[in-house]
Amino acid sequence: MGALPRRLPISVPPAPHEIVASYLARLATLNSHDGDQLWRRISTPGPTPARRIVNADRLAALTGRPASHLAGALPELRDPAPDWQMFRHAPQIGCPRCDAHHRGGAVLRILAHHRYVCIRHGYWIGPPDVNRPCPSLEYCPEVVAAQHRHLRLVQRYGWAAAYDAVLTALMICAHRWGHPDPTSGEELHQVLWTTRSFILIPKDSELHTFSASKLFACLYPEAVTLAPVIASPEWRRRAAGDDRELGQFVTEVRRRLRDSEYQPRGEQDPIAHWIESDCWRSPATPSTNFAKAPGNRKPSQLRTYNSNLSDERHWRSAAWFSLKDRRGCGDVVLHHRALHPVIVRDRSPQMQEFRGAIWNSQRTETRFKAPQFAT
C-alpha cells in the first residue's frame, strides 16, 4: 500500500447513519489503502489515543464530497452533536437490501432505539447482536406492522417513554414465554411465539441460523401491543392508583394480551412487579451510549463486533438453543444485554449475578402478597 493521495480515486457516499470507522473501512478496501492510515489522516488527537476527533473538512477533502453532505449521513460529524441517548450504544448491520447499494464491505450503522424493522424491504434488524445477516419477514408480516405501530408510539409519547415501554413489554413477554402461568391464557402466545421461532430459525438449522435478536422478533408484535399502557402517563397513574383504578389497568392489560384469565400474582409475575415497583417512577434510560463506549473509533477496531470471543459465545448459545424446548426460549431474550436497563433499573436491588436481577424483575413484596387482587 503506497502513500495516501490527497483525494481518493474511488469515493463512494456514506450510508445513512453509518459510523465513520465503517465508512473509512469501505473506502480503504475500494482504494487498496490501510483504513487506520485514513483514520489518522482525517482526525486529530483527542483526550486519549483511542479517541481521535474526526475532522469533517479533512474527510471532505479526502473524498471530494461536501462536509455538509457527509455530516448528513455520518452522525459523528454533526454539529451540534446528536442526542446520543436516542441511539443504540453499538453499531450494527442493517437491511441487506439497503446495504447492497453500498460497495466496499459491510456497513455498520448507529440506529435509533425504535428501529427494529426495515419497513421498505421487510427485514428484521433488531437490537445489536452478533453481526449475522438480517432475516426476511416475508412470512411474519405482523412484525413489520408492529414497527409502524412502534413509530406511532414514539410520535405520541416521545422516544424516551417508548424506549422504556417497548423494552419493558419485551421483558414481560419474555418472562411469559420462558415461565408460563398454568392458570392463565398464555398458551396462545406460547404457540404463536414458538411458531415464529421455527419460521426464523428452522429446526435442525440452529447452528447456522440462530441469533438472540431473532427471538426478539418473535415477541415484538405482542410487546408493541402492550407498550402503550406502559408508556401512557394516564395508564401508569391508574396502575399506581386505588383498587378501582388498578382494576381498569388490569382489564386493559388483559385485552392487549388477549388473556382474559390474567390476574396479578404475588410471585413470578413481571407485570405485578412493574405495577408495584416501577409504574410510578421515571422511565428507564439507556445504560450507555455510542459516544461513551470505549474505543470503536478506527477501522481496525471494527473486528471487535465480530471477534473470535463473540463467535465462540454465539456458537455455544446456538448449540444450547438447538437442544432446548422452544416453549422456554424467553430466557434467551431475558439474558440479552438489550434488556439490561429495564431488568437492572436505577433503584433495583444489587445482585451478584444477572440471573438474580432477572429473578427480581418478576417478584413482588407487598401489594400482591395480600389476598389475591380481583376485578
Q: What's residue 316's pLDDT? A: 79
Provide long-range contacts, Cβ within 8 A and 24+ apart, for 252-255. Answer: 253/226, 253/229
Q: What's residue 308's pLDDT? A: 45
Question: How many domains are contained in the chain?
Answer: 1
- What angle, 0 to 180 degrees and rounded to 10, lies between the N-to-C axes of helices 56-63 and 20-31? 20
- The mean pLDDT value for 13-30 works out to 95
Q: What is the CA radius of gyration of the chain?
A: 23
- The mean pLDDT value for 110-136 works out to 91
Asked, for residue 39, whether it belongs to a domain, the answer is no
Interval 40-91: pLDDT, tens: 899 888 766 667 888 999 999 999 999 999 999 999 999 899 999 999 998 9
Can you read off the three cell numbers belonging to residue 275?
405495577
Pairwise CA distance, residues 212 & 222, whole Å: 17
Task: Show the domain range for 341.
Answer: 139-296+324-360
Higher pLDDT, 335 or 51: 335
Q: Where in the chain does DSSP place strands (E)?
A: 43-44, 53-54, 117-118, 123-124
Which of 113-117, 302-306, 350-354 reaches the highest mean pLDDT?
Answer: 113-117
Asked, for residue 374, whether it belongs to a domain, the answer is no
Asked, for residue 199, whether it belongs to a domain, the answer is yes
Q: Which of 19-23, 43-47, 324-328, 354-358 has the lowest mean pLDDT?
A: 324-328
Q: What's residue 306's pLDDT? A: 47
Asked, for residue 143, whether it belongs to a domain, the answer is yes
Asked, for residue 105, whether it belongs to a domain, the answer is no
Task: Please answer whether residues 273 and 179 qualify as being in contact, where contact means their C-beta atoms are separated by less than 8 angstroms.
Answer: no
Distance between the two ends of the chain, CA-based, in angstroms? 73
* pLDDT surpassing 60 at residue 175: yes
Return the residue matching grid coordinates 453532505.
69
Q: What's residue 373's pLDDT? A: 53
How large a percentage of the chain has pLDDT more than 70?
Answer: 90
- The mean pLDDT value for 322-343 works out to 87
Higher pLDDT, 59 or 266: 59
CB-hemisphere CA count at 13 Å for 216? Answer: 27
One-letter identity of residue 21: A
- The mean pLDDT value for 294-321 works out to 68
**What is the pTM (predicted TM-score) of this model?**
0.91
